[in-house]
Amino acid sequence: MMPPTLHWDYLPAIERLVLALALGLFVGLERQWRRKEAGLRTFSFASLLGCLGGQLGQNYALMALALLGLLVVFLSVQSLLAKGKAGLTTSAALLVTGFTGVLCGFGHTLTPVAVGVMSAALLAWKQPMAGFSMGLTEAELRSAILLAILAFVIYPALSTGEVDRWGLLNLRAAWVTILLIAGIGFANYILLKLYGARGIELTGFLGGLVNSTVTSRSWPNGSAIRPSWQMSPIAG
């Protein structure tokens, strides 16, 4: 049953619907360009459905997402029967777009816009991201995981404030320095891997922030600067 009374201000309601429609069109544009089974109209309807559910209330938002889930299942089965594979990327993007519509219906603006832009970027940059990930070595992957552990596992577990009786040692502040050095080293490694000698000015500048010797060491043939962390992406 519909809610007994609904009092929507005209302009806010229209703004939420227009924002949801714009995000659906924005994400669906890439899927339409790639000729996927769900394109501009499907993504727009999914976002509008979520927006209407969000404006009606939490229960209707959940109902809208459940209906969208059924649509995703239907599209996946159809794609599986027609092409022999399920379009999981399109299905995931459709669900995310539905959630952005719900956020628009609740009155949010920044979060759904950011999610919509990031979703479109992930869809559009499929080839570069796949090529980069497939080109990673095992050592590089381990280094990335280690950097994530340093930043998101160890750092939050450290105590806040000073830990010694003289108030000189702050573990979190010291760890931030470690993360900064490791992060700059890893960023330089990625820049060199992606752009080679073309990004040498930027990598040299960032490397100098970590250790001035990294800007003065060269390859044997003198063609590019060799950073001291070259053998390990996050080694200082």
147-165 pLDDT tens trace: 889 888 988 888 887 777 7
Q: What mean pLDDT comes out for the span 200-215?
A: 55
Computed over every residue of the chain, the mean pLDDT equals: 79
Strand partners, 225: 218
Question: Which of residues 141 and 46 earns the better pLDDT score?
Answer: 46
pLDDT reported for residue 227: 43
Cα–Cα distance for residue pair 123/209, rounded to 1 Å: 35
Q: Which amino acid is at 41?
A: R
pLDDT reported for residue 199: 56
The answer, yes or no, to whether residue 13 has pLDDT greater than 60, is: yes
Determine contact, residues 17/48, Cβ cutoff 8 Å: yes
pLDDT reported for residue 23: 94
CA distances from 206 to 50, 179, 192, 220 (A): 44, 14, 12, 22
Percent of the chain with pLDDT over 90: 28
Q: What is the pTM of this model?
A: 0.65
Question: What is the band of 203 on the pLDDT scale with cuts at 50, 70, 90?
Answer: low
Cα–Cα distance for residue pair 128/130, rounded to 1 Å: 6
Cα–Cα distance for residue pair 202/140, rounded to 1 Å: 21
pLDDT reported for residue 221: 45
Domain ranges of the chain: 10-130, 136-215
pLDDT reported for residue 9: 78
pLDDT reported for residue 2: 54
CA dihedral 185, 186, 189, 190 (to 10 degrees): -150
pLDDT digits (tens, 9 = 90+) for 120-134: 998 888 777 777 677
Q: Got the DSSP string for the chain?
A: ---S-----HHHHHHHHHHHHHHHHHHHHHHHHTT-SS-HHHHHHHHHHHHHHHHH-HHHHHHHHHHHHHHHHHHHHHHHHHHSS--HHHHHHHHHHHHHHHHHHHT--HHHHHHHHHHHHHHHTHHHHHHHHHT--HHHHHHHHHHHHIIIIIHHHSPSSB-STTS--BHHHHHHHHHHHHHHHHHHHHHHHHHGGGGHHHHHHHHHHH-GGGGS-B-TTSSSB--TTTTSTT--
